[in-house]
Amino acid sequence: MVQRDTEVGQMSGTTITRDAGCRLASYIEDRRRDLVATVIRSAALPRPGSIAAAVFANAFFDRLCQELEVGDRDAVDIWADAESDPDEAFEHARIVVIACATISGAYVADCGHSDEVVSYLALRSSELEKRFRSERGGPAKVVENVRLVSRDEVVGSLLSAIEARDSNTCEHSRAVGMWSGRIAKTMGMNAEQQAFAALAGTLHDVGKIATPLEILLKAGPLDSEEWASMRAHSRIGAKMLERIPSLRDIAPAVRAHHERIDGKGYPDGLAGDSIPIVARIIGVADSFHAMISKRPYRLPMPVPQAIDELRACAGTQWDAAVVNAMLDVVQPSSAVRALRAAQGGR
């Protein structure tokens, strides 16, 4: 069924304009050989480099390009339902995820960032992965995309797209998500709020999909123009997440995670309590992990020195209450240490 509007997949929230879809389809066809080769070499596949994987990847690219060019989602969905095989479900699902992440990273690197393209590929990847996996161990059946995609699955697809460009950024994102959840717990937030902080922290750098690799990986100081490009990631990431219904609520925290308590941050110059609390949490977690991690241009900072830096800038760069919570996580009091020891180190 051909969509009568100008967007593909409007019902599930997976949208891309026909113009952008045609550009993406042309790009896929132009780079088809390299893209397929990258996909089938992935160590995440059960049989890297197999002929069967190459055949399936090419078939998927055929249907995806048809969907993008004519706006007909059934080109992929009906094919996916017909191809569903319990014995091949895992490999087929992995190929789809790896293919979408590979396309996303390559497209951004070659053509510049498009939150429309990246968001579309993340959602479509999740829909199709779930579609294939839903057939495992049971008879083939038609599945409605609107019922398929959970928030966690879309997060996984976005992280795959980040990792396809820079594994260090992906590792950093996961670490910041972990620290953000721990800070929220220490601050007395409930389980739902802790999960929200962890999710926002995990995706805080999703906008770096748009940052040129030569800037991300530069082994030296950035010049003013490069800094402007780097700093755009918080705004770009928020705009990207706003397009994904299940992640729209974390966009404000992602946009504001580089704001400062004293109002000297970016992109909007917010100050104090006008900065969302989760953004303030991410700001501390992000800075702490960045300081103690090795970067292309410097060695990791010792943890005690990073702690001193947090203390020195509490109340100016970072929220003092959040810094105190972070310090409690990193250096718990003797009473907390004793309790953890009694509980077996938990």
Residue type, position 165, single letter = R
Burial of residue 89 (CB within 10 Å: 0-12, 13-18, 19+) is: buried
Distance of CA 286 to the CA centre of its chain: 15
> What are the tens digits of pLDDT across the range 228-245?
989 999 998 898 888 777
7 phi and psi, to 5 degrees?
A: -125, 150
The sign of the torsion formed by the CA atoms of 118, 121, 127, 131 equals negative
Q: Where are the domains of the chain?
A: 1-165, 166-346
Question: Model-level pTM?
Answer: 0.69
Measured CA angle at 289 (ends 244, 203), to 5 deg: 5
Give, for all 346 residues of the chain, the pLDDT tens digit.
334 345 554 434 567 888 999 999 999 999 999 999 988 887 777 888 899 999 999 999 999 999 999 877 778 888 888 877 778 888 888 888 888 888 887 887 788 778 788 888 888 887 888 787 765 444 434 444 333 345 666 777 788 777 767 778 888 999 999 999 999 999 999 999 999 999 999 999 988 887 887 888 888 888 999 999 899 999 988 988 887 777 889 999 999 999 999 999 999 999 999 999 999 999 999 999 999 988 777 788 999 999 999 999 999 999 999 999 999 998 865 544 555 555 555 5
pLDDT score, position 150: 54
Which tokens in the block code for residue 45? 């596949």
pLDDT for 341: 57
The pLDDT tens digits for 292-313 are 988 777 788 999 999 999 999 9
Q: Is 167 helix (H, G, I), strand (E, B) or coil?
A: helix
Third-level CATH fold of 166-346: Hypothetical protein af1432 (1.10.3210)
pLDDT at 3: 40
